[in-house]
Chains A and B, each alone.
Chain A
Amino acid sequence: KAGVTQTPRYLIKTRGQQVTLSCSPISGHRSVSWYQQTPGQGLQFLFEYFSETQRNKGNFPGRFSGRQFSNSRSEMNVSTLELGDSALYLCASSPGPGVANVLTFGAGSRLTVL
């Protein structure tokens, strides 16, 4: 059974550019969450999607957006990149939004903003 697949794994952008990250959940999983991980702030929640609907959004500026498609795949977009957006972006999937549904994380997309 394939795990959570994130692409690209590594990318380098410059300030002001935008970036789109992709996440394919485990087959049959309908919930996708995104987290940002930095050495200073740790893991911080970005978004949670279920059945193409955003259920929750973390405390990030509007430059961060996301969406989920009918096949449960998800994308997140960061516009007008800033140096502070350099981070590991982790996607996690679960069967559904219930508290008993365990999250499985992907390997992450490491973004470097120059």
Chain B
Amino acid sequence: QKEVEQNSGPLSVPEGAIASLNCTYSDRGSQSFFWYRQYSGKSPELIMFIYSNGDKEDGRFTAQLNKASQYVSLLIRDSQPSDSATYLCAVTDYGGSQGNLIFGKGTKLSVKP
């Protein structure tokens, strides 16, 4: 069974620091990788997606993918208290559709002022 593993946390970082969130996946054939953010009591929202090995940057967020190690990470620079949320890593399952994702259980991030 395909699995996505994340450290459940909580991960606590001070305001302004870099938060590093990690994710590993079991299916070497996985092609597309996503990071979602879920605030408490809210629904998930997409932050970033990455398909190719290497880094992808979007503002304060950087996604890193290493397919050989089956490892995906999300770096949040200059962390803000508003970044406090649960971060979900997801990979595409059969057919490669975003509608059919395998999610990790999420890492809870707390950014302390």
Name A's B-contacting residues (CB within 8 A).
Answer: 31-33, 35, 41-45, 48, 50, 55-56, 58-59, 90, 92, 94, 97-103, 105-108
Residues of chain B with a CB closer than 8 A to A94's CB? 98-99
Name B's A-contacting residues (CB within 8 A).
Answer: 1, 31-32, 42-46, 49, 88, 90, 92-106
A105 contacts B44, C-beta separation under 8 Å: yes
Cα distance, A100 to B31, chains bound together (Å): 12
Given contacts A55-B100, A56-B100, A99-B97, contact A105 B88 (CB under 8 A): no
Residues of chain B with a CB closer than 8 A to A108's CB? 43
A43 contacts B98, C-beta separation under 8 Å: no
B102 contacts A55, C-beta separation under 8 Å: no
Q: Considering only CB atoms, which chain B residue lies closest to A92 in the complex? A: B99
| Dominant SS among interface residues on chain A | strand
Cα distance, A97 to B44, chains bound together (Å): 18
Q: Considering only CB atoms, which chain A residue lies closest to B42 in the complex? A: A107
Cα distance, A60 to B92, chains bound together (Å): 18
A43 contacts B88, C-beta separation under 8 Å: yes
B95 contacts A56, C-beta separation under 8 Å: yes
Residues of chain A with a CB closer than 8 A to B44's CB? 43, 90, 105
A75: min CB distance to chain B, Å? 16
Q: Considering only CB atoms, which chain A residue lies closest to B103 in the complex? A: A43
Most chain A C-beta atoms within 10 Å of own C-beta, residue among B46, B93, B99, B100: B99
B99 contacts A48, C-beta separation under 8 Å: yes
Cα distance, A44 to B61, chains bound together (Å): 25
B94 contacts A56, C-beta separation under 8 Å: yes
